[in-house]
Chain A
Amino acid sequence: MSHRELPENILEQIPFARFLGVKMELAGNELTLKLPYEDRLIGNPVLPALHGGVIGAFMEITAMAQLAFSENFTHMPKPINVSVQYLRSGKAMDTFARARLNRVGRTIANVDVIAWQDNKEMPIATLQSHFLLKG
C-alpha cells in the first residue's frame, strides 16, 4: 500500500490555503474543511459579510484537498472550471465545507462542494467543479 499523504500536509502544500487560514478534520475518508473567521476576510463591512471570493476560494480548496486525499495524489489537481452559487450571505463566523467526488476519471474529475456556517441544512454556497488530474 502506498503512503497516504496526511490531510494537514495537503493544505501545507498550498501557500494560499495558509493565507486564508484553512484547517481540516478527517472523519473516515471524508474531510471537513474549516475556515476560521477573521476580520480581514470581510467583503461587506456594513452587514458584515464574508467576501464572496473568500467563500469561492475556500470551496475550491476543499475540492482539491478531497481529491488529493482520496486519490492519494502527489501533485495538486488543477482547476479547469468552477461554478459557485451563492445562497446566503456569509456571516462573521467560522465556515465549513465538504466535497463529494462525483466522478474521478483518468484525466478529469468532477467535484461538488457545499459550504455552511451555523447550520449545515442551510448552506451558504455550493460549488460545481472540474479538475485536471496529472502526476
Chain B
Amino acid sequence: MPPQEDQPSSFSDMFASIVDSTPYMRALGAYYAGKSSDGVSMGLPYRADLIGDPESGVLAGGALTAILDHGCGMAVWDSLNEFKPIATLDLRIDYMRSAKPGKDMIVTAKCYKLTRTMGFVRAFAYDETIDDPVAAAQAAFVITSNSPNGQRS
C-alpha cells in the first residue's frame, strides 16, 4: 500500500538504505533490523572471517564494535527524526559473555536523552533476547552543524 500523503514520514524509513550505502557496513554484511519500543536494531550475520577466537568460533569483539557504534548513531537520528551530521564522542562496551557461534548478532540502541548538541545512547548486543546480552554499550554523540572537523557516521 502506498504511503498516505497526510502521514508524516519518519527518518527511520531511510535507515535500511543508510546502512546499505555505508561501505564498512556492507563489508561486514550488517543490516538494519527495524525499530521497536526497545529502540533501533541492527543485525550482523555470523561469518567465519569475523571470528575473534578460532578455538571457540566466537565472533570478535571488534566486529561488534562497529554495529554498536552504527546502531547508537542511528538511535540518535531516530530521536532527531531528521538528518544532521553526528560524531561519536565516546563509546564504552562491556562484554558480558561469549556470543554463540553460528547466530546472528542483534544490536538494539536507544537514545535516552537528546539535547541541542548531544545524544546519549544505551545499547545491547544479543544473540537470542535482549534480556541475555552479550555486550552492553554506552555512547555519547555530538550533533554537529557543518563543523569542519570530526563528523563520522
Chain B 34-78, CB-CB to A under 8 Å as 1, else 0, gives 000000000000001111111100011111011111100000000
Q: Is B87 an interface residue (CB 8 A)?
A: yes
Contact A89 B69 (CB under 8 A): no
Q: Which residues of A contact B87 (CB under 8 A)?
A: 86, 89
| Segment from A2-10, A51-59, A106-114 that makes contact with B | A51-59
Give the CA-CA distance A57 to B95 in the complex, in Å: 13
Nearest to A57 among chain B residues (CB) is B62
Contact B62 A56 (CB under 8 A): yes
Q: Which residues of B contact A19 (CB under 8 A)?
A: 49-50
Q: Which residues of A contact B1 (CB under 8 A)?
A: none
Q: How many whole Å from A18's CB to the nearest CB in chain B?
A: 7
Which residue of B22, B48, B89 contacts A51 across the interface (Cβ within 8 Å)? B22
| Segment from B7-15, B115-123, B124-132, B145-153 that makes contact with A | B145-153
Nearest to B147 among chain A residues (CB) is A89
Q: Pull 29 A–B residue pairs with CB atoms less than 8 Å apart, ordered by A.
A: A14-B60, A15-B54, A16-B62, A40-B24, A41-B24, A41-B27, A42-B22, A43-B25, A43-B66, A44-B153, A45-B22, A50-B24, A51-B24, A51-B69, A51-B153, A53-B70, A56-B62, A56-B65, A57-B66, A60-B61, A75-B55, A79-B93, A81-B92, A84-B65, A84-B88, A84-B92, A85-B89, A86-B88, A89-B151
Q: Beyond A19-B49, A44-B153: 7 further Cβ-contacts under 8 Å?
A: A43-B152, A45-B23, A56-B91, A60-B62, A79-B61, A86-B88, A90-B152
